[in-house]
A and B are shown apart, each in its own frame.
Chain A
Amino acid sequence: DQQVKQNSPSLSVQEGRISILNCDYTNSMFDYFLWYKKYPAEGPTFLISISSIKDKNEDGRFTVFLNKSAKHLSLHIVPSQPGDSAVYFCAASAWGPDTDKLIFGTGTRLQVFP
């Protein structure tokens, strides 16, 4: 059972435009969400996170939006750059000292073309 879903396996965006990557989750206990970026044959790198007490978190060109009622989050990249071309994973966890797992989605491959 996939608790974190990224239903779009790929996305193609023109340089300078906005990239919107989506993520849905099914577990209502999830309270903490992260986005990672991954290049081929490398480990993922952390991009941005958000906890459920917020509905938006911004860091430079990256903004994550959280809609708890819809169990949906999205990552916006503005403006998109060719170097943003990578696979993006969303991950989720439940708050609490005994929750040790990060559950990952299947990833969305973003391609930014000139």
Chain B
Amino acid sequence: QQQVKQSPQSLIVQKGGISIINCAYENTAFDYFPWYQQFPGKGPALLIAIRPDVSEKKEGRFTISFNKSAKQFSLHIMDSQPGDSATYFCAASNFNKFYFGSGTKLNVKP
């Protein structure tokens, strides 16, 4: 049983468009929700993270929207660029345990 469900599995966006990736969770004890970006052959790297007492967090072109009542959170990438092409993972954490979504492979077309 997957603790964090992520969609879509893959996403194709035109340069300049908005990329949106969604995640849902069940465990209300989760208190930290990071997003990671992974390029081929590399380890994941933290992109942006949010805590459940905040509904939105923005860092540059990346925004997390968090809906506590729906137990959902999403990543928005504004003005998507070819360099954003990578696999994105959402995650949820409770104390020391981390649970990851299955990943979204984003392809930004020039």
Are the chains A and B members of one assembly?
Answer: no
